[in-house]
């Protein structure tokens, strides 16, 4: 498995500094938060996208994927949501990265059946475009569909190889699933895995890896046992918790913790 971190932990940091942090602390890749307040977003022109791809190549760091904010199960017209996903796919294609992340984002007032059908319809439409671009759309285990079981209801309806799953280990744990259950459900669809740590189910303030309650050792163990060879990406939600310690000072210890878990599960 290869190790990466998300720029959600270093909001607004210029790309050269992000790549330097990855190199210095021994990470193989970076997940970019694709948002207008960040240096990389769908508004970049072709030349700017080529420059970003060249910076990653020169640094010897891989661009794991783009973390977008499209909410594919949200109520409303399909058109704006599909267009948002297509713009993310376009950006990923221009940067040469294989994955884009989307959220479920269903409204609490929606029925489960309606939310699933809306998400599947939009993802199925966007999948054809993603296939042409060589990009895979990943539905994160998050918000209205935080359990792996929730995600696979949608993914099973879509049935397209260019739509898969992003496993956020916090959300499946909060949904009451064990790592072995989550992996068994998501493995046919799995793009990559987001890891993190928190104090408790009631307090999701981000903590250094290994300092909280999330079953990271069990997650790594089940992935290793099944010879899964993808990305573990540390999503440290500094953007939403301004008072937590800065990610750069935690990156070294975080990489060591993940490396230790990988060695123990080998």
Render pLDDT for 34-65 as a digit per residue (tens, 0 to 9).
Answer: 999 999 999 999 999 999 999 999 999 999 99
This model's pTM is above 0.95:
yes
88 within 8 A of 70, measured Cβ to Cβ: yes
- Give the separation between CA 157 and CA 71, rounded to whole angstroms: 17
**Which CATH number does the domain housing residue 180 bear?**
3.20.20.150
Q: How confident is the model at residue 248 (pLDDT cuts 50, 70, 90)?
A: very high
| Residue 265 pLDDT | 85
pLDDT tier at 79, thresholds 50, 70, 90? very high
pLDDT digits (tens, 9 = 90+) for 91-118: 999 999 999 999 999 999 999 999 999 9
Tally of domains in the chain:
1
Give the Cα separation of 26 and 138 in Å (integer).
26
CA 136, 142, 143, 147 dihedral sign is positive
Please list, in sequence order, all residues whose beta carbon lies within 8 angstroms of the beta carbon of residue 237, skipping any fewer than 6 positions away: 8, 9, 196, 206
Please write the tens of the pLDDT for every residue from 158-197: 999 999 999 999 999 999 999 999 999 999 999 999 999 9
Structure tokens at 179: 């790592």
Domain hosting 223: range is: 2-265
Residue 266 has pLDDT above 90, yes or no: no
- Give the CA distances from residue 231 to residues 31, 175, 225, in Å, rounded to whole numbers and listed in that order: 10, 22, 15
**Residue 211 tokens, joined:** 């300092």
What is residue 203's three-state secondary structure? coil
Q: Quickly count helices (H) and strands (E) in the chain.
A: 9, 8
């Amino acid at each position: 498995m290869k190790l990466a971190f998300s720029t959600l932990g270093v909001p607004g940091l210029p790309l050269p500094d992000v790549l330097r942090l990855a190199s210095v602390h021994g990470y193989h890749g970076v997940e970019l938060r694709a948002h207008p307040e960040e240096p990389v977003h769908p508004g970049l022109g072709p030349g700017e996208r080529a420059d970003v791809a060249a910076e990653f190549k020169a640094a010897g760091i891989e661009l794991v994927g783009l973390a977008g904010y499209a909410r594919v199960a949200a109520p409303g017209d399909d058109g704006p949501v599909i267009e948002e996903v297509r713009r993310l796919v376009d950006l990923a294609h221009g940067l040469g990265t294989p994955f884009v992340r989307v959220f479920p984002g269903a409204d609490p007032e929606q029925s489960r059946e309606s939310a699933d059908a809306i998400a599947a319809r939009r993802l199925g439409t966007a999948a054809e475009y993603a296939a042409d671009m060589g990009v895979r759309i990943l539905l994160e285990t998050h918000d209205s569909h935080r359990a792996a079981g929730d995600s696979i209801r949608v993914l099973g309806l879509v049935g397209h190889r260019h739509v898969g799953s992003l496993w956020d280990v916090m959300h499946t744990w909060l949904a009451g699933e064990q790592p072995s259950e989550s992996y068994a459900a998501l493995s046919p669809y799995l793009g990559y895995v987001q890891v993190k740590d928190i104090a408790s189910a009631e307090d999701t303030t981000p903590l250094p890896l290994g300092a909280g309650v999330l079953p990271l050792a069990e997650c790594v163990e089940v992935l290793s046992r099944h010879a899964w060879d993808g990305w573990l990406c540390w999503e440290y939600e500094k953007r939403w918790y301004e008072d937590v310690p800065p990610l750069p000072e935690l990156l070294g210890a975080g990489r060591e913790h993940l490396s230790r878990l990988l060695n123990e599960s080998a």
